[in-house]
Amino acid sequence: MVMSTNAQAPAQPLKKPAASAATKSPVSPAIALFAGWFIPGAGHLLLKKPIRAALLFVSIGAMFGIGMALEGKVYTPSTGDLLDILGFAADLGSGAFYIATRMLDLGHSSVQIAIADYGTKFIVVAGLLNIVAAVDAHSLASGRKPL
Amino acid sequence: MTLTHFSAVLLFAFFTSVVFGITMRSNPKMMMRFGAFCFVLFVAGTIAASWAMWAIKH
């Protein structure tokens, strides 16, 4: 009888997990995620990626700023309309930009000129892109994406 | 502030492509390539959709 396994053979080393200690950052993934959400690019800055951080900050900030300059609608959570709630969730993705806008009472609560519809979309997409960037910072910190 | 439709498309495509490039790829060269690819796709897609709408109307 021929056996398919050899008991005398040395044990094969186990495969390394995807998030090995060598690629894992000392920054906690949760902190990178929160910082990246609150200030666009801050998560990458904590992970010592200043160029990426600057590009993210400028891109997301510019989109939010263009949206405000075009008199885009800034969504609020309390209207009861489902689409407004979704818009609020997307706007909230901009973190400090959205919070500052609400605190300083900037922005418009409704679309008043034709171009403002574009502005609304710029603000919403800025928030969504910032969420993507914050999740990317989390992935870098956890080692799921190589640093 | 006023923007033409086309300049709005260019700005939107540019900033979105920068973020997509950084977040979707891990090495800088591939980030630039993917960002450029997204930019071209955004702009070309919008122009194609615009002509499609024009053709439907006429």
pLDDT value at residue A3: 47
pLDDT value at residue A114: 80
Q: How far is CA A2 from CA A6, A8, A11, A12, B12, in A?
A: 10, 15, 20, 21, 67
In a domain, A41, yes or no: yes
In a domain, A136, yes or no: yes
Q: How far is CA B20 from CA A99, B38, B42, B44, B56, in A?
A: 24, 8, 12, 17, 32
pLDDT value at residue A101: 94
Distance from CA of B2 to the nearest CA of A (A): 7
In a domain, A52, yes or no: yes
CB contact under 8 A, B22 and A55: yes
State which residues form the domain around A120: 29-142
In a domain, A72, yes or no: yes
In a domain, A147, yes or no: no
Give B8-57 pLDDT, tens digit per residue: 999 999 999 999 999 999 999 999 999 999 999 999 999 999 999 999 99
Structural domains of chain A, count: 1
**Model pTM?**
0.84
Residues of A in contact with B15 (CB under 8 A): 59-60, 62-63, 129
Give A9-26 pLDDT, tens digit per residue: 455 555 544 555 446 678
Residues of chain A predicted below pLDDT 50 = 1-9, 16-17, 21-22
In a domain, A9, yes or no: no
Residues of A in contact with B16 (CB under 8 A): 59, 63, 125, 129
In a domain, A116, yes or no: yes
ipTM of the complex as predicted: 0.91
- Residues within 8 A of A (CB atoms), B 3-42 only: 3, 8, 11-12, 15-16, 18-20, 22-23, 26
pLDDT value at residue A14: 52
In a domain, A17, yes or no: no
Residues of A in contact with B32 (CB under 8 A): none
Amino acid (one-letter) located at A93 = G
Rounded to whole angstroms, how far apart are CA atoms A64 and A87?
A: 14
